[in-house]
Structure 1
Amino acid sequence: MTESREYHPKGLLRYPTYALGKLHKSMHAELGTSLREHWVLTYLSEFSEISQQEMADALGIDRSEVVRLVDSLEKAGLVTRTRDPEDRRKYRLAITKSGRKLRDETDAQIAAATDALLVRLTPAERATLHQLSLKALGYDLDEL
């Protein structure tokens, strides 16, 4: 039998989400980063001082997962978590200068890894893949 990383069941290859998931997993394994941690840093760089619940809702992940991610990022000095002055039960999240730096570095690494993974596609095919992915998610391409 072939190695598990080389084996791709034909039944699963019919699904674009499976193929894109394999690309995603391969890219982050190469980078040694967590995609979800990168999501948190990217979101906080655009929307600061949000609650953990707002983050969970925005990213579509469980609140307990956000807590785990933020714990790790906070220990690394990449985000801060402070009590919400209006509701002491909640925490407000913000990205630090170190968090922004890491996010920028990771963005560059992701761009390079994406280029390497999609090397078999022409620039037009890459653009089409991206546009169709966004369209499938319901985004208005004219607003991006």
Structure 2
Amino acid sequence: MSSSLSGPQRYPVYALARLTKALHAEIGVPLRDHWVLTFVADNPDLSQKKVGETLGIDRSEVVRVVDALETAGLVERTRDGKDRRKYRLTITDAGRKQCKRVDKVIAEATDRVLGDLAKDERATLSRLVTKALQGVTESPI
């Protein structure tokens, strides 16, 4: 790999990790919490277990994230009517508002980062990243 960048900066994954960390600090909301909230918003009446399985988050971490989201009034957790051991998650109106706000900040940050790329280049980048990640089911590290 030939590049004018040296050290870890020459690796796109490193650069994206730094950008993600900066974005996290900017929005004031843990990104993992946002991804869980977004997933719950997109999948009504989802089980807590399914969130962990689909997003690859450890069960105890899912509980911690959902506890925080519930305390903040962003999700409601109710017992499953058929299996009282399970919890169902539903996003609240406040949760939808937060998702919308954070999505806007993420879109603005993406525009800043990818501002030098033309629309077709952004589409190509998105397509290539999606293709590269298709077989990844867990962290490669």
Name the TM-score class by shorter chain: 0.7 to 0.9
Equivalent residue for 1:121, pick from 117, 133, 136:
117
The corresponding residue for 1:95 is 91
Instruction: Return the TM-score normalized by structure 2.
Output: 0.83
**Distance of 2:29 and 2:117 partners within structure 1:** 25
Check if 1:40 corresponds to 2:32. no
CA contact (8 A) 1:81 1:93 kept: yes
The corresponding residue for 2:57 is 61
**Distance of 1:114 and 1:135 partners within structure 2:** 19
Distance 1:57 1:29, change over 3 A: same
The corresponding residue for 2:139 is none
Matches within 5 A, 1:1-144: 10=7, 12-138=8-134
* Residue-by-residue CA offset, 1:46-82 (whole Å, 9 max, x unaligned): 1011111100011111111111111111011100001
Does the residue aligned with 2:85 lie in a helix, a strand or coil? coil
Residue identity (%): 55
Query: What amino acid maps onto 1:44 in structure 2?
Result: V
- State the 4+ residue runs in structure 1 displaced beyond 4 angstroms: none
CA contact (8 A) 1:27 1:114 kept: no
**Distance of 1:34 and 1:120 partners within structure 2:** 27
Cα drift, residue 14 of structure 1: 4.8
List gaps (5 residues or longer) in structure 2.
136-141
Does the residue aligned with 2:84 lie in a helix, a strand or coil? coil
**Distance of 1:99 and 1:47 partners within structure 2:** 13
Does the residue aligned with 1:93 lie in a helix, a strand or coil? strand
Which deviates more from structure 2 when the two are superposed, residues 99-108 or residues 15-24?
15-24
The corresponding residue for 1:142 is none
The corresponding residue for 1:3 is none
Cα drift, residue 21 of structure 1: 1.5
Cα drift, residue 19 of structure 1: 2.4
List gaps (5 residues or longer) in structure 1.
1-7, 140-144
**Distance of 1:30 and 1:9 partners within structure 2:** 27
